[in-house]
C-alpha cells in the first residue's frame, strides 16, 4: 500500500495517519452478503499550525467522510488522528477535549441550525455543554456575533429561518468559533452561497484565522475558491489521496492526469483561455467492492496494464509536492513513465 512520507512543517497541529473507513451496504437481495463501500482509504496528512489545507475532488470521492473522520464523528476502521502530537483516544474525556479544539462548519446552513433555538441559544449551546455559565456564554455569543459581522441586538434573539443564507453561514461560523477551537473544518461551507456573499465570507474567514490563530481544513469542489484560500491542496479520488502539494505547485504543475483534467475543466472567464483539453469522460467506478489498481484508470488516457494491477505508490516530485501515479514513477514499469 501507499505509505505516505510526512512532509516537515513548522508545527503540526492536526495529523492523520492511515485513516481508513469502509461502510457496509446491504445487498439488494435478502440473502446477499453485505457489500463494502470504500469511503476513505489510507488517508494521511499533516496540517501545519496557522495554515489552510484545501481538499478537492468530485462528488462522492470521500471528502465529507474524511471531514467526519477527522471530527471523530465516525470511527475509523484503521489509522489514528493526532492533535498537537497527541493521539486522540476513544475515552469520553479525550473526545470532549478534542471536540473543543476541532470544530466544523457544514454546507447546508439551514439544516445545521436548530430551527427551534434562537441564534444566540445555538451559539451558546457548545460552551454551556463544556461547563460555561449561561450568562457568560451569552455575552460570548454576542461577542462572536459581532466578530462575524452580525449585530447582536439585531440577530441574537431571532430564529434561523428569519435570516438570509449568508447570514446563517456566518452564524454557523460563530457557533464553531464559540468553543475557541484550534482547527476548523469547512465542509463545502461556502458552496451554497452566491458569489458576492461567498467572497465576503471567505474574507471574513481569512480575518478570523489571523485573529484567533486558527488552522483550516477547507473542503470544496470549487477549485478557484480552494486556490484562493489554501496554502496546501490535497486532491482526492475515490477515497484516496492522489496528489498533494503547495497550492501553487498543484495548480501550476499538476502531475496526476486526474488533477490535470480537473484543473482543465475549471471554467475560465477569459475567452482566450478556453478549456481546450478534453474534459474527463465517464463516471468514477462505484466505490462498492473496489477492484485493485488505480481507480482513475478506466477514465485515463494513459491507462496501461500496471494501472489495473496495483494502486500507484506515492512519488515525491519535490519537497512539497507528491503524487500517486505510475506515470510519475520511473520504476513503475508504465510504458510512458518518466
Residues between 258 and 317 that touch other proteins (CB under 8 A): none
Contact 165, 198 (CB under 8 A): no
Question: Among 236, 192, 224, which residue's Cα sits nearest to residue 55?
Answer: 236
Residue 24 near other proteins by CB under 8 A = no
Measured distance CA(65)–CA(212) in Å, rounded: 27
Q: Which stretch binds other proteins (CB under 8 A): 40-48, 102-110, 256-264, 300-308?
A: 102-110
Residue 112 near other proteins by CB under 8 A = yes
User: Looking at beta carbons only, is 117 or 264 nearer to other proteins?
Assistant: 117
Dihedral sign for Cα atoms in the order 183, 239, 264, 312 = positive
CA atoms within 13 A on the CB side of 287: 19
Q: Which stretch binds other proteins (CB under 8 A): 97-105, 259-267, 291-299, 326-334?
A: 97-105
User: Looking at beta carbons only, is 99 or 256 nearer to other proteins?
Assistant: 99
Terminal-to-terminal C-alpha distance of the chain: 21
Classify residue 301 as exposed, middle or buried by CB count within 10 Å of its CB (0-12, 13-18, 19+). Answer: exposed
Measured distance CA(141)–CA(106) in Å, rounded: 19
Helix segments in 165-229, DSSP class H: 165-177, 195-212, 223-229
Among 35, 100, 227, 246, binds other proteins (CB under 8 A): 100
Count of residues engaged in binding other proteins, rule: CB under 8 A? 45
Residue 18 near other proteins by CB under 8 A = no
Among 35, 49, 82, 158, binds other proteins (CB under 8 A): 158
Phi, psi at residue 246, to the nearest 5°?
-65, 145
Residue 162 near other proteins by CB under 8 A = yes
Shortest distance (Å) from residue 119 CB to other proteins = 9
Shortest distance (Å) from residue 152 CB to other proteins = 9
Residues that bind other proteins (CB under 8 A): 68, 71, 73, 95-96, 99-100, 103-104, 106-108, 111-118, 122, 125-126, 129-130, 147, 149, 151, 153-159, 161-162, 172, 175, 179, 199-200, 203-204, 207
Amino acid at each position: 500500500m501507499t505509505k505516505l512520507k510526512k512532509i516537515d512543517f513548522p508545527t503540526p497541529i492536526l495529523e492523520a495517519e492511515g485513516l481508513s473507513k469502509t461502510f457496509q451496504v446491504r445487498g439488494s437481495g435478502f440473502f446477499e452478503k453485505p457489500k463494502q463501500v470504500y469511503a476513505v482509504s489510507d488517508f494521511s496528512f499533516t496540517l501545519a499550525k496557522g495554515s489552510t489545507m484545501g481538499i478537492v475532488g468530485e462528488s462522492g470521492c470521500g471528502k465529507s467522510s474524511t471531514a467526519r473522520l477527522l471530527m471523530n464523528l465516525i470511527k475509523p476502521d484503521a489509522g489514528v488522528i493526532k492533535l498537537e502530537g497527541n493521539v486522540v483516544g476513544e475515552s469520553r474525556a479525550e473526545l470532549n477535549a478534542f471536540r473543543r479544539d476541532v470544530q466544523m462548519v457544514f454546507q447546508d446552513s439551514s439544516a445545521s441550525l436548530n430551527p427551534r433555538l434562537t441564534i444566540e441559544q445555538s451559539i451558546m449551546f457548545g460552551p454551556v455543554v463544556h461547563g460555561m455559565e449561561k450568562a457568560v456564554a451569552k455575552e460570548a455569543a454576542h461577542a462572536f456575533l459581532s466578530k462575524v459581522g452580525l449585530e447582536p441586538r439585531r440577530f441574537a434573539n431571532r430564529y434561523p429561518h428569519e435570516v438570509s443564507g449568508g447570514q446563517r453561514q456566518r452564524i454557523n461560523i460563530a457557533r464553531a468559533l464559540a468553543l475557541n477551537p484550534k482547527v476548523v473544518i469547512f465542509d463545502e461551507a461556502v458552496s451554497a452561497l452566491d458569489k458576492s456573499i461567498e467572497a465576503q465570507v471567505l474574507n471574513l474567514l481569512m480575518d478570523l484565522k489571523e485573529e484567533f490563530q486558527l488552522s483550516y481544513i477547507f473542503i470544496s469542489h470549487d477549485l478557484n475558491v480552494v486556490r484562493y484560500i489554501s496554502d496546501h491542496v490535497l486532491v482526492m479520488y475515490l477515497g484516496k489521496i492522489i496528489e498533494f502539494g503547495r497550492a501553487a505547485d498543484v495548480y501550476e504543475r499538476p502531475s496526476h492526469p486526474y488533477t490535470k483534467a480537473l484543473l482543465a475543466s475549471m471554467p475560465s472567464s477569459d475567452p482566450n483561455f478556453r478549456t481546450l483539453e478534453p474534459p474527463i469522460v465517464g463516471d468514477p467506478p462505484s466505490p462498492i467492492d473496489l477492484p485493485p489498481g488505480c481507480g482513475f484508470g478506466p477514465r485515463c488516457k494513459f491507462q496501461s496494464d500496471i494501472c489495473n494491477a496495483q494502486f500507484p505508490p506515492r512519488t515525491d516530485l519535490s519537497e512539497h509536492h507528491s503524487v500517486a501515479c505510475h506515470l510519475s514513477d520511473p520504476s513503475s514499469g508504465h510504458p510512458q513513465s518518466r
